[in-house]
Amino acid sequence: MTILDIDGVNNVRDVGGIPAEGGRIRSGVLLRSGQLSGVTSAGAAALQGSIQHIVDLRDGEEVAAEPTEIEGPETTHLPLFLGSVRSFFEADTSLDDLYLHLLEESGERLVEAIRIIAAGEPTLVHCTVGKDRTGVTVALALSAVGADREAVIADYALTESQLPAQRSQRIAAYLRSQHPEAVHAVALATQSPAPVMRNLLEQIDERWGSAAGYLRAKGMTDAELAALKRALVEEG
């Protein structure tokens, strides 16, 4: 994958180059990032020149607080959390449980996001941090086309190092003050441990046979999965 410098946006990368069955993931087709609300005019121009579609996985409360207006690319809002982000901190949800929640409760919207990727237009997927909702969506799309598992896990794990250290420290301090008994809050907000994604992909295999099997169970057709592979995988 390639880390991109988009002014005003954190955690931006192109997942192209990851090894996959029959070749590698095509560059320039699937990008991921944190929220775009802080993008500068230069950053917006860079995005306008490289993507045609934005998939925003944030809920309405998040979008209202940090709106994004980038002219040109089509934007599709597909909020993945059924409930507010705040509720996961209040319940002290672990990353493992959060990701299973996404799979179980938001399957149709995950499929909708991946259908947009399958259309083959250069697409940017993002949420607020670009870690959890984005991480699960991108991992599913990549795994469904046979991307190398360890490379998919490494892409997910990379996020933690891409978040501004001062931001993570500030958020961790705030969460400890607000939820002093919480065990999982800091990890939920700032961490992307490789074992969490490895465990998720193993559970997908156990319950649905594969990532493609999961997407089929949630409504994606074989024709759409074939289109996803054509969009994402180049031979060589």
Number of structural domains (the chain) is 1
Task: Return the closest-CA partner of residue 53 out of 5, 152, 121.
Answer: 121
In a domain, 54, yes or no: yes
**Residue 235 lies inside a defined structural domain of this protein:** no
Nearest to 51 by CA among 67, 69, 74: 74
Decide if 192 is inside a domain. Answer: yes
Q: Whole-model pTM? A: 0.93
Asked if the structure places residue 236 within a domain, the reply is: no
Helices 133-144 and 107-118 cross at an angle (nearest 10°) of 60
Q: Please report, in tens digits, the pLDDT of each residue of the chain (236 residues total).
A: 799 999 999 999 999 999 999 899 999 999 999 999 999 999 999 999 999 999 999 988 889 999 988 999 999 999 998 666 667 767 778 999 999 999 999 999 999 999 999 999 999 999 989 999 999 999 999 999 999 999 999 999 999 999 877 776 777 676 677 667 767 777 777 889 999 999 999 999 999 999 999 999 999 999 999 999 999 999 97
By the 8 A CB rule, do 27 and 50 touch?
A: no
* Domain residue limits at 148: 2-230
Tell whether 198 is covered by a domain: yes
